[in-house]
Amino acid sequence: MLFLGLLLDGPKHDHEIKRTIDEEFLSFVGLKIKSSYYPRKKMEQLKLVRSIIPQGRKIFDHLITQSFLSVARPFFSLDLSLYFLPYVNKNLSYRKLRRRVIFLKRI
């Protein structure tokens, strides 16, 4: 989800993806990567990206929808969902976040 989300704005070089992860995600996700080359190559092999193609967007939408309801601790997946909120359909995000609040109240 992270790599697909970063490509939604358009094509990025590997070093740009790595720099963005280091600068913007390290503090709240604790994710430090050595290289973005392998994940990007893997996504290309799975035909999920060129810059980002409809199949990659579909996978991103699925992953972000799942992460709204994730209850795994720590809640990094929800943090990523909130980071990419501008890319999510507003009605969908509202419904999913509302369901999450209901679920958390039950807990």
**Quick one: what percent of the chain has pLDDT higher than 70?**
84
Confidence of residue 91 (pLDDT cuts 50, 70, 90): very high
pTM for this prediction: 0.64
Averaging pLDDT over each range in 38-42, 45-49, 50-54, 94-98, which range is the top one?
A: 94-98
In this structure, are residues 11 and 44 in contact, taking their beta carbons and an 8 Å threshold?
no
Cα 11 to Cα 5, 31, 75, 85, 91: the distances in Å are 11, 22, 28, 19, 27
Report how many domains make up the chain.
Answer: 1
Range of the domain at 10: 2-106
- Whether the predicted pLDDT of 79 surpasses 80: no
Element containing residue 52 per DSSP (H, E)? none
Q: For the purposes of burial, counting CB atoms within 10 Å of the CB of 50, is it exposed (0-12), middle (13-18) or buried (19 or more)?
A: exposed
**CB atoms near residue 60 (< 10 Å):** 22
